[in-house]
Amino acid sequence: MKDLEIDNSAGKTTEAQVEPVHELRVDADPVGNQPSLRKGAVLGKTIDGSMDPIRATPPGGEGGNKGKEPHFHRRVGPENFEESLRKGVAVVRFNMIFVMLMTLATNVLILAIPVYLFQISDRVFTSRSLDTLVMLTVVICGAVILQAVFDAVRRFMLMRTAVEVAAQLGAPILSAAAHASLHGSGREYQTLGDLQQVRGFLTSGTLISFMDIPFAPLFILAIYLVHPHLGNIVVVSSLLLLLIAFINQRLTEKPFYQANLAQSRANLHLESMSRNSQIINAMAMIPEAVAIWGRDTAQSLTAQVRAQDRNIMTAAVSRTVRLLTQVGMLGWGAYLALNSQITGGMVIAASIIAGRALAPIEGSIEGWNSFLLSRAAYGRITKLLRGSKLQYERLRLPRPEGRLDVERLLYIPGGTKQVVLNSIAFTLNPGESLAVIGNSGAGKTTLGKMLVGSILPTSGNVRLDLMDLRNWDPRQFGESIGYLPQDVQLFPGTIKQNIGRMREDASDEQIHAAAVLADVHEMIASLPQGYETVVAADGSPLSGGQKQRIALARAFFGNPRFVVLDEPNSNLDAAGDRALARAIHHARENGITVVVVTQKPSLLSVVDKIMLLADGSVAMFGEREPVLRKLAGRKGGENGQQVSQQGGQANA
Ligand SMILES: Nc1ncnc2c1ncn2[C@@H]1O[C@H](COP(=O)(O)OP(=O)(O)OP(=O)(O)O)[C@@H](O)[C@H]1O
C-alpha cells in the first residue's frame, strides 16, 4: 500500500491508507486555494497547487512591508471553483470511458459460462469428443479469469476516480464553504460530507449496476437467439422491474429527503455541543442537549425506516420477479425442449443469461437511495462552487495606507425589520484612531464587523483607501487589516502559530514584532513555554485576559494598515488595560488606523476621535476633547458622565 499524502503547506502531512498503485499529492495553501492537476486529469498523476490563481503572499511580501509593491490594478485571477468542478467532472468522465470499456468486456465475457453449458450439451454430448471438452474448458477458463480481471480493473479505476475527485474538489469546497458560511446558515461545511457521499457512490455496487444496465439488451438479444418466447419473457420482466424501480423512486424520495434533513439538523446540533462542551457540562445541560439531538436523530431514523421499509419491499418484489422469471424460463424452456424446439443446455444457458440481464436492474433498485443522496449531494457541491463569490476577478491594489471612509451605512439584518445601524458616516485618515462607545445593543459590534467586511451593509459603503471593501481581493484585504472580535477564539496550536495567523511563512521577526506592537511580548515571555505554549481548542492553559492579548497580537500581525478591536479590554486587568493603551499608542505611531469598540472609557485618552452610538445612529462624533466635554455636559447622561470622568482621568 502506498500513502495518500495531503500536503496542506502547513507542514503537516496526513497519511491515509488507500489502495495501492498511485501516489497523489494535494497541495492546498492556507487560504484553501484549490489544488489542480499538474499533468491532466488521469489516474496516478501528481496533484499540486502550482496552478492556483491566487497565491498566499508572505506578510512582508506583496501585501506586507518587505517585498516590492504590487503593480497598481493588477488583476487577480479568481479562485475559479467552476474550473475545479469542471476538472473534477472531467476526471470522472475520462475515467468512465475506460470503466465502460472494461464493463463491456466484463459483460461479454460473462456469456462464457452459458456458452460453455450450451456447447457441452449440444456439441460434447452429441459428439462425445473428449478433445472438444478439453478445448472448450481451457477457453472458458481463460474467459472467466479474464472477466474477473476486467471486473477488478474497473473497480480499481472507480476507486481511484473517487479518490481523485475528492482530491480535486476537497480544498475548493472547504474554501468556498468557509467563505459562504460567513453569510450562510452554517451548513456550508457539511458540503465536505457531500463530497464523501459522492465519493462513496463512485465506488458503490449501485454505480456498477447502473453501468451494467446498458448491456442488458445484449443478454436479451442472446436469449432471443435461443428462442423468441424466452426473449419475450425476459423483456416483459425487465419492463416490470423498471416499473418497480419507478414506483420505488416515487415511494422513497420524500422520506429519504426528510431523513437527511433531520440528520443534518442533528449534525449541526452535535457541532454546537462540541463547541460549547464546557458550558453544557458546567450547567449540567447534557440531558437537554442529548434530548434535542435525540429528537432530530429520532425523526431522521423514523423517516429512514419508512423509506427503507418501502425500499426493502420493492427490492423483495423485484427479486421475486427476477427469480420467477428464471423459473418461468426454465419451465417454458423445458416445454419447448419437450417439443424439440431447443435443447436442455439451451434452457439452462438462457436462464443464466436472464438472471444476468435482470441483476443490474435489481441492483439499481436496491441502491436507489444512495443514488438519490449522491445526486442531491452533487447538487449542493455544484451550487456551492458555482455560487461562490470568491471566483470573481479582483484587482490587486497597492498596499493600503489605512484611510477609512464610511458612507451612510444602513443595516437591517435579513429576515428582520430592525434597523441595527442607520446613516452611519465618518472618515478616518491613515494612522487615526477612533473609539466607538455606546450602550449595550447600540450597534457597536455590528459596526465593527461591517468595517472588516464580515457582514455587508444593507446599503451604504465602507471604503478602505477609497475602494469599497466588496471590491478588494479578500486575501489582500485580510492581510492589510487586523480584527479582534468580541468573542475571542484561538486556533488549536502554539501561541506563535496563533499570532502568525497559522501561516507557514510567518517569520519569528514578524511574530515578535506583532507581539511588541500589541505590547504582549512580556506576558508571553512569562509563560513557561513562551511562544511555544500550546493552546487547546478551548483556549487552555491561557486565561481569558491572556487569550484576549494573544488575539490582539494576532490582529497586529503582518503590520496591518487598519485594525478593529471589539471590546479588547473586556477581560483585562489594570496592567492589561495599560498594555492595551500602549498598543493603541504604538499603532498610532506606526500609522495604523485603529477603531476600538469599547464599553469601558479607560481607552478614550489614547484615541484621536470618539463616536457615541445610540440605537444604531451616531449620537456624537468628533475629536476626543470636544466629545468628552459634550459627554460631560449631557445632563442625566449617566453613561456620558462616567465616560467623561474616566476618560478625563485616563487623560490626566
Ligand atoms: N443578525 C442579526 N439579526 C437580528 N438582530 C441583530 C443582528 N445583529 C445584530 N442585531 C441586533 O442589533 C443590535 C445591536 O447589536 P450589537 O451586537 O451590534 O450591539 P453592541 O452595541 O455591540 O452591544 P454590546 O455592547 O452588548 O456588545 C442588537 O439589538 C442586536 O439584537
Task: Say yes or no to pLDDT of 597 above 70.
Answer: yes
- In terms of domains, do 362 and 431 share one? no
Quick check: 67 and 46 in contact, CB under 8 A?
no
- Convert the pLDDT of each residue in 246-301 to its tens digit: 888 888 888 888 888 898 888 888 888 887 877 888 888 888 888 888 999 999 99
**Partner residues linked to 407 by β-bridges:** 461
What ipTM was estimated for this complex? 0.96
The residue whose CB lies within 8 Å of the most ligand 1 atoms, and thus the one to mutate among 412, 446, 487, 618, is 446
| 449 touches ligand 1 (CB under 6 Å) | no
- Convert the pLDDT of each residue in 470-488 to its tens digit: 888 888 888 899 999 988 8
Atom of ligand 1 nearest to the CA of 566: 22
**What's the per-residue H, E or C state across 446-469?**
HHHHHHCCCCCCCEEEEEECCEEH
By residue range, what is the domain housing residue 323? Answer: 216-366
Quick check: 410 and 616 in contact, CB under 8 A?
no
**Residue 329 falls inside a structural domain:** yes
Give the model's pLDDT for residue 562. Answer: 94
**Residue 334 falls inside a structural domain:** yes
* Residue 441 CA, ligand 1 centroid: distance in Å: 5
- In terms of domains, do 239 and 339 share one? yes
Domain count, the chain: 2
Atom of ligand 1 nearest to the CA of 420: 12
- The length of the chain is 652
**Residue 156 falls inside a structural domain:** no
* Residue 64 CA, ligand 1 centroid: distance in Å: 34
Distance in angstroms (rounded) separating the CA atoms of residues 49 and 52: 5
| 417 touches ligand 1 (CB under 6 Å) | no
Ligand 1, atom 26: nearest CA belongs to which residue? 440
* Residue 420 CA, ligand 1 centroid: distance in Å: 7
- In terms of domains, do 433 and 515 share one? yes
- In terms of domains, do 358 and 436 share one? no
Residue % of the chain over a pLDDT of 90: 24
- In terms of domains, do 328 and 240 share one? yes
- Convert the pLDDT of each residue in 344-376 to its tens digit: 888 888 888 888 888 888 888 778 778 888 998
Give the model's pLDDT for residue 302. Answer: 92
- CATH number, domain of 333, equals 1.20.1560.10
* Selected residue with higher pLDDT from 285 and 613: 613
| 443 touches ligand 1 (CB under 6 Å) | yes
Q: Give the closest residue to 535 by CA, choosing from 176, 524, 314, 243.
A: 524
| 103 touches ligand 1 (CB under 6 Å) | no
Give the model's pLDDT for residue 425. Answer: 93
* Residue 446 CA, ligand 1 centroid: distance in Å: 6
**pLDDT confidence bin for 63, thresholds 50/70/90:** very low
Ligand 1, atom 12: nearest CA belongs to which residue? 420
- In terms of domains, do 331 and 422 share one? no
Give the model's pLDDT for residue 405. Answer: 94
**Residue 116 falls inside a structural domain:** no
Q: Who contacts 270 (Cβ-Cβ below 8 Å, separation ≥6)?
A: 293
CA distances from 45 to 49, 87, 369 (A): 13, 13, 33
**Residue 29 falls inside a structural domain:** no
| 444 touches ligand 1 (CB under 6 Å) | yes
Task: Say yes or no to pLDDT of 144 above 70.
Answer: yes
- Convert the pLDDT of each residue in 505-561 to its tens digit: 888 999 998 998 888 888 899 888 899 999 887 778 888 888 888 999 999 998 899
| 611 touches ligand 1 (CB under 6 Å) | no
- In terms of domains, do 408 and 342 share one? no
**Residue 614 falls inside a structural domain:** yes
The residue whose CB lies within 8 Å of the most ligand 1 atoms, and thus the one to mutate among 411, 418, 456, 615, is 418
| 626 touches ligand 1 (CB under 6 Å) | no
**Residue 158 falls inside a structural domain:** no
Rounded (10°) angle between helices 368-387 and 228-275: 50
Quick check: 403 and 578 in contact, CB under 8 A?
no
- CATH number, domain of 413, equals 3.40.50.300
pTM score, whole prediction: 0.64
Task: Say yes or no to pLDDT of 23 above 60.
Answer: no
The arithmetic mean of pLDDT across residues 591-613, rounded, is: 87
Single residue among 366, 382, 413 that ends a domain in this structure: 366
- In terms of domains, do 343 and 443 share one? no
Task: Say yes or no to pLDDT of 46 above 50.
Answer: no
Omega before 172 within 30 of 0, i.e. cis = no
- In terms of domains, do 341 and 469 share one? no
* Residue 447 CA, ligand 1 centroid: distance in Å: 9
Single residue among 366, 382, 410 that ends a domain in this structure: 366
- In terms of domains, do 340 and 408 share one? no
**Residue 56 falls inside a structural domain:** no
Single residue among 324, 347, 366 that ends a domain in this structure: 366
Give the model's pLDDT for residue 3. Answer: 40
- In terms of domains, do 488 and 339 share one? no
- In terms of domains, do 509 and 560 share one? yes
CA distances from 25 to 5, 36, 42, 48, 166 (A): 5, 10, 13, 6, 12
Q: Give the closest residue to 163 by CA, choosing from 209, 102, 100, 95.
A: 95
